[in-house]
Amino acid sequence: MAVLTAQNISSNLKTKVFGKKVYFFEEVGSTNEVAFELARNGAVHGTIVLAETQTKGRGRMGRRWVSPSGANIYLSLVLRPNIEAKAAPLITFIASIALTDAAKTVGVEAGIKWPNDLLVNGKKLAGVLTELESDGDKVKYAVMGIGVNLNLTREMLDRELGDIAADATSVREALGREVDRVDFTANLINELERRYEEYLVLGFKHVIKEWNERCSMMGKKVEVIAEGKSLIGTAQSVDSMGRLLIRRKDGVVERVIAGDIVLV
Ligand code: BT5
């Protein structure tokens, strides 16, 4: 198995723009934090930041992303998209679609859980965190952050993730074997560029369509917790702005922009 280094990643890329500049660190607070700093200082669209481990890996809403060393992927991608800040879910959706593609390449069928999780057998395999700097309504730059549990065994998951281990899984657990981290990461970056280019040609609508096809929640009864409020209903689809449509028992359809969702 090849060692994860910037050089090894670069030589496996088939991209035109993404990963022309790859930064690799043994340890960072958060790859998103580093990528944000690089973007603030002018890093080009497509710049990639990778780390072996993160001491302050972050999830949404101040949550933590547990980031053990030696087996996983912690990747951030600097983007300079010509979009409005309210269209930001697009970036998370492109990441999730590319993640399902990369997982499929190694033989893992993953489903997407709105808004940013990749699940296998109901357990979390990967998460996406998109963070933005905007200038008025427009996005100045964005950082797409991706964490994948790749080669953690069940024993490692239990040891490293503690309380949350039962809700987490890895590619290795799903497959019963290790996968090459360099190959997986390079393929993920290739897929990210392919999906991003597809978006540039075919638009947000196409991304939404692909995303809806991969979402494992649609048609199911769910509870959404958003801003401390709970909403129960049937997940319908995601609309053209990335909002989740929930049909309540009384037939009213609510549109949710951000939150957490569980099957009920
Ligand atoms: C996410 O947030 O799922 C976004 C995760 C993004 C992580 C990447 S790693 C590279 C980049 N740099 C960063 O600092 N972050 C990004 P959210 O939906 O809020 O989920 C967070 C929740 O997932 C936590 O509260 C835990 O319950 C669970 N969790 C934490 N670490 C996990 C892991 N390694 N595997 C599975 N679940 C985990």
pLDDT in tens, 186-214: 999 999 999 999 999 999 999 999 999 99
Positions in the chain whose pLDDT score sits under 50 = none
Q: 33 is written with which tokens?
A: 């934090």
pLDDT at residue 226 in the model = 86
Check residue 228 and give its pLDDT.
Answer: 86
pLDDT (0 to 100) of residue 166: 98
Residues flanking ligand 1, CB < 6 Å: 30-32, 54, 57-61, 63-66, 74-76, 116-117, 124, 127-129, 145-147, 149, 161, 164, 168
Residue nearest to atom 7 of ligand 1 (CA): 147
Predicted pLDDT at 2: 82
Q: pLDDT per residue over 107-155, tens digit each?
A: 999 999 999 999 999 999 999 999 999 999 999 999 999 999 999 999 9
Work out the angle at residue 248's Cα, subtended by the Cα atoms of residues 246 and 251, and round it to the nearest 5 degrees.
Answer: 110
| Res 84: pLDDT | 93
| Nearest atom within ligand 1 for CA of residue 31 | 12
Cα 65 to middle of ligand 1, angstroms: 4
Work out the number of other CB atoms within 10 angstroms of the CB of residue 137: 10
Q: Does the pTM of the predicted model rise above 0.75?
A: yes
